[in-house]
Structure 1
Amino acid sequence: MGVSSKMMMMIFLGLLGFIGLAEAQLKLGYYAQSCPKAEAIVQDYVHQHIPHAQSMAAPLLRMQFHDCFVRGCDGSVLLNKTEVGNNDTEKTANPNLTLRGFGFIDSVKSILEEECPGVVSCADIIALVARDSVWTVGGPWWPVTTGRRDGRISNASEALQDIPPPFSNFSSLQTIFASKGLDLKDLVLLSGAHTIGIAHCSSFNERLYNFTGRGYGQDPSLDSEYAANLKERKCKTPSDNTSIAEMDPGSHRTFDLSYYKLLLKRRGLFQSDAALTKSLTTLSYIKELVNGPLEAFFAEFGQAMVKMGEVQVLTGSAGEIRKHCAFVN
């Protein structure tokens, strides 16, 4: 067995050990008897479509964050607003207006419903699709426990409250993550998802044009050359809400350590990115990752994803298994 093979085996065994500490009612291979082909169906669909649309990997990963941070990992982010009760669901909340990939999840669900009607939850599909998408574009792999059930409640106000906004400072990030049972190391690792994907100018334009809140001023913590480049090439006006910029310029399609290296150069795109360097604890984690091997980041990112995927899950007889991910049964 070569060095890389040994390392991957150690990572796999370490992740399995980590899972042993996780929610007891979730388990690896939960659908082994009830829908034996479930995980293979998800994987095959991802492997068929993501190579031709690699930019979808980041949104599908982001979807799991946004799902798990509101009411736990229960698929509530997928629910549509209905006329009954006129309830504004998580989908309609500002943090989720730029979410993409709902059709992708619906397509996977449709195939699984044909194979095993009423068996595989939408919450589990989100978790499996996120992992398989990241792996398909060359990122880390992690074991996904399954057995989540779908929630029946989805409120826009809760999404506004629980999803960390891009302008978060360190204190608010620490508080929100702690409320989900996630620590500062998880914060640094999960923020590493910004190594792939793009963001709309509306998410960070105030850092460029209105940091004082009075219609002018640039964030002094943002590298001036980087800020000038963003103004010149990406977000040319304060009112630009449609243009986009890479979260990890020059490497936004590659799952690597570049994001953390840019943080040390004051080139994190969001205020929430820059905030990670404001604490000695998180700064030391960043430096440790930058100075370590990529395999170590992959392994630790996988551990953080396993941990996040266990947040406030519904299992047993709680919730339901939705027939359609956008609607309660």
Structure 2
Amino acid sequence: MAELKSLSLILLFTLLTTTIESRLTTNFYSKSCPRFFDIVRDTISNKQITTPTTAAATIRLFFHDCFPNGCDASILISSTAFNTAERDSSINLSLPGDGFDVIVRAKTAIELACPNTVSCSDIITVATRDLLVTVGGPYYDVYLGRRDSRISKSSLLTDLLPLPSSPISKTIRQFESKGFTIQEMVALSGAHSIGFSHCKEFVNRVAGNNTGYNPRFAQALKQACSNYPKDPTLSVFNDIMTPNRFDNMYYQNIPKGLGLLESDHGLYSDPRTRPFVDLYARDQDLFFKDFARAMQKLSLFGVKTGRRGEIRRRCDAIN
């Protein structure tokens, strides 16, 4: 029964995605803002050069915006005295500021060229794709024409985003509830190929026994996080081998006990996900192909079009 339910959700998502793609187009701004792609590309390139953590930060921002309730830029809205927005929920407080900053910069430049034309959600989606390419990742087409959400509430995120400490079974259920297969979940986990995680997300686990860590790696992590209680900003690269390049080394690390987070170890300890880890560890081209397809699918999840949303003048505030 559970398998039938999951299959029904996947089929429903496929139908919805097809409908959404018919509304969105890859050349949506070709007439209304012909320099849209150039402006985004120039903005993200300058930011990535000066702040190399921007790519990982923006990919993470994209996921935290899209996965809970759809790609609608609700993650960018600031809280007010009357509302605690998504970005101030406990799970989003650790999102790096570089991701927010690069979107604000792009929006500012686009508003000067094409006022009240381009949505913040479209900017996030294109910036994510372009930044992924700058660090060696795959290119994929982005469909445009999204509108921005008029709602952003921290309370709407309850138990919707996977945690680094979540059991793999729970993470699988969360992805399947959104219409994603187990293989797509494993492919999207490859985003951990770049970026870093704060010590608080793994320090307790690395101190335990039989946690799947390579012993020398565990000792190195303990040393790197030894001052964590006094400095909670301490962090470690998700991929210690090629931390600034998007590749399949993340999957090669996991079987060797070099995965950083509990969720990484979980991918190899569960028989449902382990074959895909091995597959992507052997074949980077296949990983890139599947990652690109899954990212494109995620970018279409819960998209708002027409009157269901708006084009914000500022990404951090509803009009």
TM-score, length-scaled by structure 2 = 0.89
- For 1:224-239, list aligned pairs within 5 A: 224-232=215-223, 234-236=224-226, 239=229
Q: Deviation at 1:22?
A: 6.0
2:286 to 285, 288, 296: 296
Q: Is the 8 A contact 2:20 2:303 kept in 1?
A: no
**SS, match of residue 245 in structure 1:** strand
Q: Is the 8 A contact 2:74 2:148 kept in 1?
A: yes
Give the whole-Å Cα distance in 1 for the aligned partners of 2:65 and 2:55: 16
- For 1:1-329, list aligned pairs within 5 A: 23-83=21-81, 86-99=82-95, 100=97, 101-209=99-207, 217-218=208-209, 220-232=211-223, 234-236=224-226, 239=229, 241-292=232-283, 294-329=284-319
Give the whole-Å Cα distance in 1 for the aligned partners of 2:300 and 2:216: 41
Q: Deviation at 1:148?
A: 1.0
C-alpha root-mean-square deviation of aligned residues, in Å?
A: 1.7
Q: Deviation at 1:23?
A: 3.4
Q: Deviation at 1:205?
A: 1.5
Give the whole-Å Cα distance in 1 for the aligned partners of 2:116 and 2:210: 50
Q: Is the 8 A contact 1:89 1:155 kept in 2?
A: yes
205 and 160 in structure 1: CA distance in 2 versus 1, 3 angstrom threshold: farther
Query: What residue identity is the alignment partner of 1:94?
Result: S
219 and 168 in structure 1: CA distance in 2 versus 1, 3 angstrom threshold: farther
Query: What residue identity is the alignment partner of 1:42?
Result: V
Structure 2's unaligned 5+ residue stretches are 1-16
Q: Is the 8 A contact 1:51 1:136 kept in 2?
A: no
**SS, match of residue 280 in structure 1:** coil
Aligned-pair identity (%): 37
238 and 37 in structure 1: CA distance in 2 versus 1, 3 angstrom threshold: closer
Q: Deviation at 1:112?
A: 0.9
Give the whole-Å Cα distance in 2 for the aligned partners of 1:271 and 1:46: 31
219 and 25 in structure 1: CA distance in 2 versus 1, 3 angstrom threshold: farther
What does the per-residue CA deviation read over 1:222-242, in whole Å, with 9 as the maximum and x for residues that have no partner? 33221111002x111563522
Q: Deviation at 1:250?
A: 2.4
Q: Is the 8 A contact 2:21 2:143 kept in 1?
A: no
Give the whole-Å Cα distance in 2 for the aligned partners of 1:114 and 1:328: 19
Query: What residue identity is the alignment partner of 2:170?
Result: S
Q: Is the 8 A contact 1:201 1:235 kept in 2?
A: yes
Q: Is the 8 A contact 1:75 1:150 kept in 2?
A: yes
Which runs of 4 or more aligned residues in structure 1 lie more than 4 Å from their structure 2 counterparts after TM superposition?
19-22
1:5 maps to what in 2? none
Q: How many residues align?
A: 300
Give the whole-Å Cα distance in 2 for the aligned partners of 1:302 and 1:20: 17
Query: What residue identity is the alignment partner of 1:88?
Result: T
Deviates more, 1:278-287 or 1:317-326: 278-287
Q: Is the 8 A contact 2:47 2:102 kept in 1?
A: no
Give the whole-Å Cα distance in 2 for the aligned partners of 1:110 and 1:159: 28
1:15 maps to what in 2? none
Q: Is the 8 A contact 1:170 1:275 kept in 2?
A: yes
Give the whole-Å Cα distance in 1 for the aligned partners of 2:131 and 2:197: 19
Query: What residue identity is the alignment partner of 2:100?
Result: F
**SS, match of residue 155 in structure 2:** helix
Q: Is the 8 A contact 1:135 1:141 kept in 2?
A: yes
Q: Is the 8 A contact 1:22 1:307 kept in 2?
A: no
**SS, match of residue 24 in structure 1:** helix
Give the whole-Å Cα distance in 2 for the aligned partners of 1:241 and 1:91: 19
2:10 maps to what in 1? none
TM-score, length-scaled by structure 1 = 0.87
Q: Deviation at 1:24?
A: 2.5
**SS, match of residue 197 in structure 2:** strand
Q: Is the 8 A contact 1:77 1:90 kept in 2?
A: yes
Q: Deviation at 1:309?
A: 0.6
